[in-house]
Amino acid sequence: MERLHDACGVVGIYAQENIDVRNSLVLALTALQHRGQESAGIAVYDGEGKIVQRIGMGKVHEVFPDMGAGLPTTYCGIGHVRYSTSGVSCIKNAGPFIVSLKYSPYDPIAVAHNGNLVNGSYLHEQLPQEFLRSTTDSEAIALMLLYADGLTLRERMISIIPQLFGAYSLVILAEGRLYAIRDPWGMRPLCLGRIGENWIVASESCAMDCTGATFVRHVEPGELVTVDEYGMHSERLVQFPRQTLCVFEYIYFCDATSQLNGKYVYSVRESMGRELARQQPVDADLVTPVPDSSVPAARGYAAVSGIPYEQAIIKNRYSDRSFIKPNQLLRRQEVERKFQLISSKIRGKRLVVVDDSIVRGHTMKHLVVELYAQGAKEVHVRSSAPPLRHPCYFGIDIPQEAELIAARRSTQEVADYLGVDSLGYLSLPGLSRALNTAKESSTIDNSAIGFLHSNFCYGCMEKQGWPFKPPDAVKMQQPFVPLIVVMQ
Distance (Å, whole) CA 355 – CA 312? 13
Parallel, antiparallel, or unpaired for β 456-457 and 245-246? Answer: parallel
Closest CA to 86 of 123, 31, 61: 123
Distance (Å, whole) CA 213 – CA 235? 22
Q: Please, is 22 exposed, middle or buried when counting C-beta atoms within 10 Å of its C-beta (0-12, 13-18, 19+)?
A: buried
Asked if residues 368 and 341 have their Cβ atoms less than 8 Å apart, the reply is no
Strand order in the sheet with 198-202: 51-57, 39-45, 76-82, 9-14, 198-202, 191-195, 214-218
Name the residue type at position 38: E
**Helix, strand, or coil (residue 199):** strand
Q: Please, is 171 exposed, middle or buried when counting C-beta atoms within 10 Å of its C-beta (0-12, 13-18, 19+)?
A: buried
Asked if residues 429 and 461 have their Cβ atoms less than 8 Å apart, the reply is no
The residues carrying an active-site annotation are: 8
Name the residue type at position 41: G
For helices 295-305 and 265-279, give the axis angle rounded to 10 degrees: 40
Peptide bond between residue 184 and the one before it cis (omega within 30 degrees of 0): no
Backbone angles phi, psi at 367, to 5 degrees: -65, -40
Peptide bond between residue 292 and the one before it cis (omega within 30 degrees of 0): yes
Distance (Å, whole) CA 463 – CA 448? 17
Distance (Å, whole) CA 59 – CA 71? 18
Q: What percent of the chain is helix, strand and coil (3-state, nearest 5)?
A: 30, 25, 45
Cα atoms found within 13 Å of the Cα of residue 190, Cβ hemisphere only: 32
Closest CA to 4 of 426, 397, 383, 354: 397
